[in-house]
Amino acid sequence: MTLSQQVRMMLGLPIVLSMAFHPIADAAQAESKISKQKQIEIISIFGQSQQLNTETGSAYYLNEEQLEQFEFDDIHRILQTVPGVYIREEDGYGLRPNIGLRGATTERSSKITIMEDGILIAPAPYAAPAAYYFPNSARMTGIEVFKGPAAISYGPNTVGGAINMHSRTISDINEGSLELAYGENNYQKLHSYYNHHIGKLGILVEGIRVSADGFKELDNGGDTGFTKNELLVKLNYEVDSPEYYQLWQLKLGYGDEKSHETYLGLTDHDFNSQPNRRYLASQNDLMSWQHQQIQLSHYIELNDRVNIHTVAYRRDFDRDWGKLNRLNTNRSIQTVLLSPDTGLNKIYYDVLTGARDSAIMTDTLMYGHNDRQYYSQGLQSKLTWQSQHFGADSQLEFGLRLHQDQVTRHHFEDGYLMLNKKLVATNQPTIVSARNKGQVTALASYLNYQLDFEQLTVKAGLRVENIDGQLLDKKTQQQYNNKDTLVSPGLGAFYRFNDQFGLLAGVNKGFVPNSPGQSHNSEQDIKAEESWNYEFGLRYSNQRTKAELIGFYTDYSNLKGRCTFSSGCVTNIDIEFNGGSVNVQGIEASFSSQWSLTNTIDIPFAISYTLTDSSFNSDFKSSFIQWGDVKKGDQLPYMPKNQLSIKTGLTAENWQLALLFKHTDKMSEAAGSRTDLEGYWTDQQQQIDFSAWYQLTSILRIYGKIDNLTNKQVVVSRRPLGARPGKPQQMIVGIKFKF
């Protein structure tokens, strides 16, 4: 296959599913898809036509068909079928995802690299990596998950791995789609796109709106729902000259959200009697944000072996989360909710629920605004050269990225009294808790070199990042600087015994850089998170069956924790902590196949399993709320030992039924002692989702789905403040019209 053909495969819909649940399409079908779609912004597992995937690292791809099967809007539910992925639920809708990979902390997905079309999407990936912005997964047509050595191409976080989401491509034909859905709790979805092609110019316009009244119930009947909108416009222009093929693309995007979400949870007693209850102290809580993006891409084929792909990008994100922060006392809300009948806790609990009016200053509820503005901008370019060396096909890939991002924080609090079940402002002076600006400039480069022998594929890589950060404390007018140089080597290999069976192995060094200004106000000299990551596995594939078994071992020389409101911290917000040496090891297994029930009906079956064990390797005391006083051998919080998903159903030419079962072991909520949630665990989670669709005509499809079929709700977390439920049963019906 020439480089030109390979690139055109990458520009269209990827056709190789690394551990996907469906067999790879035949070459003729794949070429048909390729001829209809071109796209330059995605970084995808490179296309291969052979039956056995020879990717040297652990990589997983979910295609458009899989994403549409259950019509999930929640990225948590989408990723539950991928081994090695850890989730901590928070709001039930996945509005603020908490995702970890292979031991990387789940907290706000801040320890993994998240991309859309190969571009970093966290509001400020270096200065403030918590992913408070996350695109609507319902508009994505593919999702890739990279772990192990495969992650060093993406960065900056290379300990756990990377997730790349593919937005819709521009096709060569005029087409469009309209989707309408309605469900319980006044769930509504409107999703439409139109693609138009005029000569060398392609245009795509796509919009999506998802809203619901929410499943939680405020004691006064107030709003607990959300509305989330996104609009995307793409323009492609092809320059197909005799000398060079070139493609230009402009991508514009806008999104906003208003969600009446809260960090306030429940006591265990209240959860057991009414898990969806919300206390009156949270009646004013509201998150609102706006997001804009602009992206200009250029792709050129210098010849049939060399191409260059360059992207300039800018993202702006403005958010304000007004919410109950704390009581006007040194007693935390978490302490009150864990023991609501003890002494003064009873008074505070009654104020939180509205059963008692505020009477004294310590009854004052401190309502905080976390007002933040972010931007992220940069220029990245990738050169790919295909050749032959050492008697093997070779591919060299060199990438360079100059990136800058910034976060400006203005956090302040106002006092409110609970009077007659309503919050009334005290009109006392506003307390400014934080006013600062963090900025990072980073120059990142990576080099990958791959050799494909007849049976052996070897891939070596190196990533280097030079990071220059500054934090300006506007309250004191002091500036703090930090510089880091991070070097991440990696090596992976795949040995193919035959057309169906092979062995893979890999090692890489992982880093998570410090955010600006960490050491000046911390209890320790904060070090970058650093680890050596190892994997070894077996892979099998034939026309209908795929299987993979991978063992992984992550050896941290230093693990970091970060204090955020979402992690349960009230003080030390945005401060990082050293956790020292930690080991995480486990097994990832997956199997998928499809059997014929009749000549027209098939039974697909897929199972994925993750076994994980973790331990701290030293004793230490920390004021990080999720650790406390740690003893050697203590486990990491929010890391289940066993995770299992099973998917099956019935598939015919014009209809489909599907069931998805998920099991997650209970998870510890704190690693050590002398912290609020010492000895507490989340509940074991077992969840069944059902979906069905029927193709009425060639252009009209109806579908129905039931999330959480058994309607069982358990404690998925007691952070930030109190016990929190997952989403209850939700029935949804929808219609899709393609034109």
Whole-Å CA distances, 629 to 139, 458, 622, 717: 44, 44, 6, 21
User: Looking only at Cα atoms, what is the longest distance across the chain?
Assistant: 83
Task: Write out the two tokens for 622.
Answer: 């920390």
Residue 487: is it exposed, middle or buried by C-beta count within 10 angstroms (0-12/13-18/19+)? Answer: exposed
Distance of CA 675 to the CA centre of its chain: 28
pLDDT of residue 37: 45
pLDDT of residue 519: 65
Whole-Å CA distances, 520 to 2, 473, 523, 524: 54, 11, 9, 9
Residue 350: is it exposed, middle or buried by C-beta count within 10 angstroms (0-12/13-18/19+)? Answer: middle
Worst-scoring range by mean pLDDT, 46-60, 277-291, 438-452, 598-612?
46-60
Which CATH number do you get for residue 434?
A: 2.40.170.20
ω into residue 720 within 30 of 0, thus cis? Answer: yes
103-127 pLDDT, tens per residue?
A: 888 989 999 999 999 999 999 999 9
The answer to whether 14 and 38 are in contact (CB under 8 A) is no
Q: Which domain holds residue 204?
A: 3-738
Phi, psi of 116 (to 5 degrees): -120, 120
- pLDDT band at residue 28, thresholds of 50, 70 and 90? very low
CA separation for the pair 220, 217 (Å, rounded): 8
pLDDT of residue 522: 55
Q: What percent of the chain has pLDDT over 70?
A: 92
Phi, psi of 334 (to 5 degrees): -60, -45
Q: Which residue, chain included where needed, has tokens 């099991």? A: 663
The answer to whether 162 and 115 are in contact (CB under 8 A) is yes
Name every residue whose Cβ is closer than 8 Å to that of residue 410 and which is 6 or more positions away in sequence.
Answer: 369, 371, 372, 432, 434, 435
402-414 pLDDT, tens per residue?
A: 999 999 999 999 9
Residue 256: is it exposed, middle or buried by C-beta count within 10 angstroms (0-12/13-18/19+)? Answer: middle
CA separation for the pair 620, 585 (Å, rounded): 22
- pLDDT band at residue 521, thresholds of 50, 70 and 90? low
The answer to whether 388 and 394 are in contact (CB under 8 A) is yes
- pLDDT band at residue 564, thresholds of 50, 70 and 90? confident
CA separation for the pair 545, 435 (Å, rounded): 56
The answer to whether 708 and 727 are in contact (CB under 8 A) is yes
**Residue whose C-alpha is closest to residue 257's, from 88, 90, 434, 94:** 94
What's at 376, amino acid-wise?
A: S
**Residue whose C-alpha is closest to residue 141's, from 250, 83, 68, 231:** 68
pLDDT of residue 123: 95
Total domains, the chain: 1
599-653 pLDDT, tens per residue?
A: 999 999 999 999 999 999 999 999 899 999 999 999 999 999 999 999 999 999 9
pLDDT of residue 512: 93
For residues 414-431, give the mean pLDDT.
95
pLDDT of residue 52: 64
pLDDT of residue 550: 97
Worst-scoring range by mean pLDDT, 10-19, 429-438, 484-493?
10-19
Worst-scoring range by mean pLDDT, 145-159, 323-337, 484-498, 724-738?
145-159
Tell me, what DSSP letter sits at residue 97? Answer: -
Q: Is 261 helix (H, G, I), strand (E, B) or coil?
A: coil
CA separation for the pair 81, 689 (Å, rounded): 12
DSSP result, 287-306: EEEEEEEEEEEEEEESSSSE
DSSP result, 319-369: EEEEEEEEESSSS-HHHHHHSTTSTHHHHHHHHHHTSS---SGGG-EEEEE
3-state percent breakdown (helix, strand, coil) of the chain, nearest 5:
10, 55, 35
Sign of CA dihedral 712, 717, 723, 726: negative
Mean pLDDT (the chain, rounded): 90
Would you tell me the crossing angle of helices 27-36 and 3-11 to the nearest 10 degrees? 70
For residues 679-687, give the mean pLDDT.
96
The answer to whether 640 and 681 are in contact (CB under 8 A) is no
Helices (H), 12-146: 27-36, 64-69, 75-79
**Residue whose C-alpha is closest to residue 323's, from 288, 349, 374, 363:** 288
End-to-end CA distance of the chain: give it in Å, rounded: 34
Q: How many CB atoms lie within 10 A of CB 192?
A: 15
Q: How many CB atoms lie within 10 A of CB 91?
A: 24
191-236 pLDDT, tens per residue?
A: 999 999 998 999 999 999 999 999 999 999 999 999 999 999 999 9
Residue 158: is it exposed, middle or buried by C-beta count within 10 angstroms (0-12/13-18/19+)? Answer: buried
Helices (H), 20-162: 27-36, 64-69, 75-79
Name every residue whose Cβ is closer than 8 Å to that of residue 28 and which is 6 or more positions away in sequence.
Answer: none
Dihedral of the alpha carbons of 623, 628, 634, 637, in degrees to the nearest 10 = -80
pLDDT of residue 3: 39
Residue 221: is it exposed, middle or buried by C-beta count within 10 angstroms (0-12/13-18/19+)? Answer: exposed
ω into residue 516 within 30 of 0, thus cis? Answer: no
Worst-scoring range by mean pLDDT, 51-55, 57-61, 544-548?
51-55
CA separation for the pair 10, 493 (Å, rounded): 22
Phi, psi of 155 (to 5 degrees): 50, 170
CA separation for the pair 527, 548 (Å, rounded): 35
CA separation for the pair 38, 301 (Å, rounded): 14
pLDDT of residue 523: 56
Exposure b/e, 39-75, CB count within 10 A at least 16 = b: bbbbbbbbbbeeebbbbbbbbbbbbeebbbbbbbbbb
pLDDT of residue 26: 39
pLDDT of residue 569: 86
Residue 336 has pLDDT above 70, yes or no: yes
pLDDT of residue 10: 36
Phi, psi of 568 (to 5 degrees): 105, 0
The answer to whether 638 and 89 are in contact (CB under 8 A) is no
pLDDT of residue 151: 84
Task: Write out the two tokens for 610.
Answer: 């993750």
